[in-house]
Amino acid sequence: MKLIENLKRSEWSQVLRRPTKSVDDIENIVNDVFSAVKANGDNAIKSYTAKFDNVELDDIEVTKTEIEEASERVTKELKKAIKLAKKNIKQFHKAQQTDKVFLKTMRGVKCWQEKRPIQKVGLYIPGGTAPLFSTVLMLAIPANIAGCSDIVLCSPPNSEGKIADEILYTAKLCGVTKVIKVGGIQAIAGLTFGTESIPQVYKIFGPGNQYVTVAKQIATKYGVAIDMPAGPSELLVMADESANPAYVASDLLSQAEHGSDSQVILVTTSKKFAEKVNSEVESQLEVLPRKEMATDAINNSKSIVVKDFKTALDLIDEYGPEHFIVATNDDDYFVENIGNAGSVFIGNYTPESAGDYASGTNHTLPTNGFSKAYSGVNLDSFQKSMTFQKISQKGIKNIGPAIELMAEAEGLQAHKNAVTLRLKDLES
């Protein structure tokens, strides 16, 4: 990792740039795929699957038999671990349920708000370099708690035309209603328009590579909502000499191994500590099965030495990391003051991988600085709030004159008339 000292604030934006392509580089490809899928449905899906995933499929929908057989192949030990994770994730997301908000704003005027599920949702589960069955837990569990009726899962097939056993088992465990063997841009296009095999959905969830991220953004042009622009994974660690360099290095590498376009950053007040971490990174990197991919990500990454915690906090907020680990002699300073981060991990014994799998929080988080404005996936992501109001005769008398005056001031006579007619009837 490149070590940087004495960084000027004017240089922050350049140094903190993500190693991602711009939307312009990808958008033309995405638009071509969308147009083809919209026009030709499953045939286009199969054609692009052959082109991008190097596998030709007769049917893209996973059968119940395939799911049952896949579930049988998952080991008892892994099933137990997945069920433990499910329990914690379900508990945490169920706790996010809220009661109806009801209020009499004035005599005769009742207003309330209720949550209703988004009926049709699409879950995108990456499965290329790593089959992320953990993401099934993170998306399908809150979708079920929310009460979504159609939960459609798309994941790319392997070279044999199959989805990983672990993904299919977890989908079954978490109540997914349909599983489709399709990934990449064509999956997002299928969920956007609907095809012979893929139901059209109202909202698309899930992380993916840069192409999937842009495809999700393009989907919004066609009236489909998305959870967030979640692209390549990233992690920022704030640590000082009170932290364990080996732990910090392991956390940095845990995100670096996601993909060549991932990015990890260490911020520290100690050059000596940064050097220790860099040494640990090099050592631990050598034994990783995904060494080549992690090395590419490390080459995109940096160790930044700052003068004090205040400067560190300002820099971290400017970056807006997806994952933020703090391991210092004053963690509370960062916990209480951090403004922009997808999820925060506190102390030497809270690895980021805990949130990825089993602590209970959701790992589908905003990347690329979007944590400045977006939340990570939560129960509310699968619901929408609906407001209601009921006004009695007494209520319209109380509130009506104000409505008439305001509507007239805005030049909206029909708005005023809607009240005036009722008030006149009540006077007669």
Of 401, 398, 406, the closest CA to residue 419 belongs to: 401
Say whether 209 counts as a known binding-site residue. Answer: yes
Q: How many CB atoms lie within 10 A of CB 149?
A: 11
Round to whole Å and give the CA distance between 335 and 332: 5
Given 93, 323, 352, 363, the catalytic residue: 323
- Backbone torsion region of residue 283, taken as left when φ is above 0, otherwise alpha when ψ lies between -120 and 50, otherwise beta: alpha
Active site residue 322: yes
**Residue 194, burial from CB neighbour count under 10 angstroms (0-12, 13-18, 19+):** middle
Say whether 158 counts as a known binding-site residue. Answer: no
Say whether 363 counts as a known binding-site residue. Answer: no
Round to whole Å and give the CA distance between 37 and 45: 6
Say whether 255 counts as a known binding-site residue. Answer: yes
Say whether 368 counts as a known binding-site residue. Answer: no
Active site residue 66: no
Say whether 186 counts as a known binding-site residue. Answer: yes
Of 40, 382, 42, the closest CA to residue 187 belongs to: 42
Say whether 25 counts as a known binding-site residue. Answer: no
Cα radius of gyration (the chain): 25
Round to whole Å and give the CA distance between 220 and 229: 11
Single-letter amino acid code for the residue at 358: A
Given 166, 322, 352, 363, the catalytic residue: 322
DSSP assignment string, 112-172: EEEEEE-SEEEEE---SSS--HHHHHHHHHHHHHHT-SEEEEEE---TTS---HHHHHHHH
């959701």: which residue's tokens?
362
Single-letter amino acid code for the residue at 336: E
**Token pair of 352 as six digits:** 């980021």
Point out the annotated binding site for Zn(2+): 255, 258, 356, 415
**Residues catalogued as catalytic:** 322-323
Annotated binding site for substrate: 233, 255, 258, 323, 356, 410, 415
Binding residue numbers for NAD(+)? 124, 186, 209
- Residues tagged in the binding site annotation: 124, 186, 209, 233, 255, 258, 323, 356, 410, 415
